[in-house]
Chain A
Amino acid sequence: MIEIQNLAKKYSTQTVLDINILKIPAGQTFGLIGNNGAGKTTLFSCLLDLIKPTKGKVINNQVDVSISEDWKSFTTAFLDETFLIGYLMPEEYFYFIGELRGLSKQKVDSFMSQFEDFFNGEILGGKKYLRDLSKGNQKKAGIVAALMGEPKVIILDEPFANLDPTTQIRLKKIIKDLSNYKDTTILISSHDIQDVTEVCERIVLLEKGELIRDINTSEETLKELEEYFKARIN
């Protein structure tokens, strides 16, 4: 589904991303882990054509993202609060994104009804603009908007951070269901080893922009990752 070839991003002399080759097959739940400055967000930004790589390219479902914009019709993302429109109410935001993805108002409504539990009554029907919601609730709204319109690829940057425990569990279930039943390719980054090992079928470990490990998740993965990061302390 996604193919990264020779991708590198340099700022003057500093290399922040340098990946030789990385292929993510369709339907995979792909986790990205690493410390601050590992290049996780940079990689996602390159995938979404938000920054121009110094060299190399990203192919998303046969589309070179820097040349054609066709990838936008099947790819969604939530990286940070710049994906929210602060002066809209959550409903208006969902309808707006829905319209862009070709969903009618009724379809958006019925889609939203699945997430009643997830929203915990704090998002829909309130009298607040998105800018006035708490950070956690903003994130919930952004993530759900990224799930709308049956995308083939979903990219989420640190989806679990800032969420309350119950919501984290619910979100994990949502992600697992999407990859099991809908064959959606999901890319997730995280600082939390446990979260990614729980959700992702495959985990890639980045450090200083380079691919250090590429693991198919198994029983031992959590331990392996823990030991890797513990070893970094000394």
Chain B
Amino acid sequence: MFKTVLSLQWKEFNRGKSVGGKLVAKIFKWFWIIYFAIMSVMIGILASAYGGPSMEFPLENNSLAPFEYANGQLIYFFAYLIVMRYFIQSLPVLNIRSFLLTPILKKDIVRFSLLKTILTYFNILPLFFLVPFTLALASSGNYNTLGLISWNINLLGLIYLTNFFNFLLNNKNNLIYIVGAALGLIKALEYFSIIDFTIYSKEAFYLFYDIPYLSLFTWLFVFWLYSYVKKYFVTGLYIDTGLQVKIKEAKMDDFSWLNRFGKTATFIKNDLRLLKRSKRARTAVYMGLGLLFYGVIFQSTEDVFGTTSAFFGYLFSTGGFLFMFGSFVPSWDSQYYPLMMTQNIQYKEYLNSKWSLMIFGTIISTMLASIIYSFSGLNAVYAVLAGAAYNIGVNGYLTLWAGAYTKTPIDLNSSANAFGDKKAFNVKTVLVGLPQILLPVLLYFFTSQYYDHFMGCVAVACLGALGIFLKPVAFNLIMKAYKTEKYSTLKAYKSN
């Protein structure tokens, strides 16, 4: 039975409509996994000689400090593991409905779904840390080998506990609130240094080293949780209970105050509803908000690479929403593109509404970014404003234009990660995308080399301002691209 279902899953992947895109996404994913694996090994080796921030590195004396320090941090590791799993790990979704009427036992269906997760990278990656770390400790000769083995077995057990716990988290709404509140509390208590959890964590994990057979209890607990989760799912295998898709109660959104903007408003109203009601579209907003802080990362590289790299960061921080939303125009409308194409709509109005929304988002991002980066001084704010002008005047058009060649349908009802979405791998989109980033950065680089930071910002801002004046020209070009691509776009969206 395992073999049959596995082969079905392979076919599902292999014969899906966008195999190429999925493959690219997979390669991307594995690239990151391998990267993290290598990092884990390195951290594992380094950690075996690290006793905490207050001690010298590497540790010379033969103390238990590295082990104790690691034990102290483990509580945070598991807290983060739970959070990361909840947001990133996708639970295996078999097409369960079609199996219900086959002679496969219900508990086998569930067992397959659960056991498939055993080898997921969330469970394997920690080993890349644990194995070198343990080996390094053991070779120092200060440790009791049996104790170390037991300690590892315990951790592995806890990792699998979080694995099965994640199933419950994803299915029980009340539980997620409780766990979320608990984790938030831990974080808050730590942040305000009210309670130092590392002390308790140190003691607790040390116990499993000290008293080896304790690890057995962890695994008993793992088996209990596994069978509990299994039972929970088996009883839920009815189309009106566990398999029922939860329907949210709908609420009207009027937005009639937008009507003053004429035809453009007709579409903006819909797009606002889209952003509000579709998980996938909401992710774009969240990511836009997250990218506001992109500049912070690049600020730290300023000493090494000069102001240009920081400028790159600022440019992105105001354009986050623009890129995240704009790159998927018109894919947002992919599910009903035939409707759009037969309605009494001018392309110009349609594009203008998308553009307006992008610009509106950019303006809000700019206001927020100005506040955030005002703490870093006036120069940062200049760069933010220049980046915003460029995003509004140039990148708005370029993103829309690239959209004409983006033909990945979006399933609005799923929240599939916006990261992995295979879209970008289309030569034309990449070509259009290049000037979005390279041109302003180069312009800034040369002007700031000849003059100074301020003039660099002015130059980029001027380019943006020029773009705003050229809107009619730009729109004509974009419209042409959309018209010529119409049929192939319709076809691509159909094969969803």
Which residues on A are within 8 Å of B, measured CB to CB? Answer: 48-52, 69, 72-73, 75-77, 79-80, 82-89, 91-92, 96-97, 99-102, 126-129, 131-132
Q: Is B250 an interface residue (CB 8 A)?
A: yes
Q: How far is A72 from B341 in the complex, measured between Cα atoms in Å?
A: 9
Of B102-110, B271-279, B389-397, the segment with at least 4 beta carbons within 8 Å of chain A is: B271-279
Q: Is B487 an interface residue (CB 8 A)?
A: yes
Asked if A84 contacts B339 (CB within 8 A), the reply is: yes
Q: Is B413 an interface residue (CB 8 A)?
A: yes
Given contacts A50-B341, A82-B337, A129-B250, A87 and B412 within 8 Å (CB-CB): yes
Given contacts A86-B412, A92-B252, A97 and B343 within 8 Å (CB-CB): yes
Cβ contact of A82, chosen from B251, B263, B338, B413, cutoff 8 A: B338
Q: How far is A51 from B490 in the complex, measured between Cα atoms in Å?
A: 8
Q: Is B431 an interface residue (CB 8 A)?
A: no
Given contacts A82-B335, A86-B335, A96 and B250 within 8 Å (CB-CB): no
Asked if A91 contacts B274 (CB within 8 A), the reply is: no
Asked if B490 contacts A50 (CB within 8 A), the reply is: yes
Asked if A50 contacts B338 (CB within 8 A), the reply is: yes
Residues of A within 8 A of B278 (CB): 87
Residues of A within 8 A of B341 (CB): 48-50
Residues of A within 8 A of B274 (CB): 87
Q: Is B201 an interface residue (CB 8 A)?
A: no
Q: How far is A101 from B248 in the complex, measured between Cα atoms in Å?
A: 30
Which residues on B are within 8 Å of A, measured CB to CB? Answer: 247-253, 263, 266, 269-270, 273-274, 277-278, 335-339, 341-346, 412-413, 487, 490-491, 493-494
Residues of B within 8 A of A51 (CB): 487, 490-491
17 extra interface residue pairs, beta carbon distance < 8 Å, beyond A48-B342, A89-B252, A100-B345: A48-B338, A50-B342, A50-B487, A72-B344, A72-B345, A82-B494, A84-B339, A85-B336, A87-B273, A87-B274, A91-B252, A92-B252, A100-B266, A127-B249, A127-B251, A129-B250, A132-B250
Asked if B336 contacts A82 (CB within 8 A), the reply is: yes
Residues of B within 8 A of A131 (CB): 413
B270 CB, min distance to chain A CBs, angstroms:
6
Number of A-B residue pairs, CB cutoff 8 Å, is 84
Of A48, A69, A84, most B-chain CB atoms within 10 Å: A69
Asked if A72 contacts B339 (CB within 8 A), the reply is: no
B283 CB, min distance to chain A CBs, angstroms:
14
Residues of B within 8 A of A72 (CB): 342-345
Complex: chain A residue closest to B347, CB-CB: A69
Asked if B345 contacts A96 (CB within 8 A), the reply is: no
Residues of B within 8 A of A82 (CB): 335-339, 493-494
B192 CB, min distance to chain A CBs, angstroms:
41
Q: How far is A102 from B345 in the complex, measured between Cα atoms in Å?
A: 11
Q: How far is A83 from B493 in the complex, measured between Cα atoms in Å?
A: 13
B421 CB, min distance to chain A CBs, angstroms:
19
29 contacts between A and B (CB under 8 A): A50-B338, A50-B490, A72-B342, A72-B343, A72-B345, A82-B336, A82-B337, A82-B338, A82-B493, A83-B338, A83-B339, A83-B342, A84-B336, A84-B339, A85-B335, A87-B273, A87-B274, A89-B250, A91-B252, A96-B266, A96-B269, A99-B263, A99-B266, A101-B344, A102-B344, A127-B249, A127-B250, A128-B247, A128-B250
Asked if B344 contacts A96 (CB within 8 A), the reply is: no
Residues of B within 8 A of A127 (CB): 249-251
Given contacts A50-B490, A129-B250, A131-B413, A85 and B342 within 8 Å (CB-CB): no
Complex: chain A residue closest to B494, CB-CB: A82
Complex: chain A residue closest to B259, CB-CB: A99
Q: How far is A143 from B85 in the complex, measured between Cα atoms in Å?
A: 44
Residues of A within 8 A of B487 (CB): 50-52
Q: How far is A127 from B249 in the complex, measured between Cα atoms in Å?
A: 5
Asked if B338 contacts A132 (CB within 8 A), the reply is: no
Residues of B within 8 A of A76 (CB): 342
Residues of B within 8 A of A87 (CB): 273-274, 277-278, 412
Closest 10 CB pairs of A and B: A83-B339, A87-B277, A82-B338, A99-B266, A72-B344, A127-B249, A52-B487, A132-B247, A129-B250, A73-B344
Asked if A86 contacts B345 (CB within 8 A), the reply is: no
Q: How far is A74 from B341 in the complex, measured between Cα atoms in Å?
A: 14
Complex: chain B residue closest to A90, CB-CB: B250
Q: How far is A49 from B253 in the complex, measured between Cα atoms in Å?
A: 32
Residues of B within 8 A of A48 (CB): 338, 341-342
Q: How far is A83 from B269 in the complex, measured between Cα atoms in Å?
A: 18
A141 CB, min distance to chain B CBs, angstroms:
12
Q: How far is A85 from B273 in the complex, measured between Cα atoms in Å?
A: 11
B325 CB, min distance to chain A CBs, angstroms:
15
B394 CB, min distance to chain A CBs, angstroms:
29
Complex: chain B residue closest to A70, CB-CB: B344
Residues of A within 8 A of B253 (CB): 92
Asked if B249 contacts A88 (CB within 8 A), the reply is: no
Of B249, B270, B278, B338, most A-chain CB atoms within 10 Å: B338
Asked if A100 contacts B343 (CB within 8 A), the reply is: yes
Given contacts A101-B344, A129-B250, A129-B277, A86 and B413 within 8 Å (CB-CB): yes
B71 CB, min distance to chain A CBs, angstroms:
48
Complex: chain B residue closest to A155, CB-CB: B342
Residues of B within 8 A of A89 (CB): 250, 252
Asked if A77 contacts B491 (CB within 8 A), the reply is: no
Asked if B338 contacts A79 (CB within 8 A), the reply is: yes
Asked if B336 contacts A86 (CB within 8 A), the reply is: yes
Asked if B344 contacts A77 (CB within 8 A), the reply is: no
Asked if B273 contacts A92 (CB within 8 A), the reply is: yes
B285 CB, min distance to chain A CBs, angstroms:
15
Residues of A within 8 A of B335 (CB): 82, 85-86
Given contacts A87-B278, A88-B270, A100-B266, A77 and B412 within 8 Å (CB-CB): no
Q: How far is A75 from B413 in the complex, measured between Cα atoms in Å?
A: 30
B496 CB, min distance to chain A CBs, angstroms:
9
Q: How far is A216 from B171 in the complex, measured between Cα atoms in Å?
A: 59
Residues of B within 8 A of A96 (CB): 266, 269-270
Complex: chain A residue closest to B277, CB-CB: A87
A84 CB, min distance to chain B CBs, angstroms:
6
Q: How far is A97 from B345 in the complex, measured between Cα atoms in Å?
A: 10
Q: How far is A82 from B337 in the complex, measured between Cα atoms in Å?
A: 7
A211 CB, min distance to chain B CBs, angstroms:
24
A108 CB, min distance to chain B CBs, angstroms:
13
B128 CB, min distance to chain A CBs, angstroms:
42
A216 CB, min distance to chain B CBs, angstroms:
29
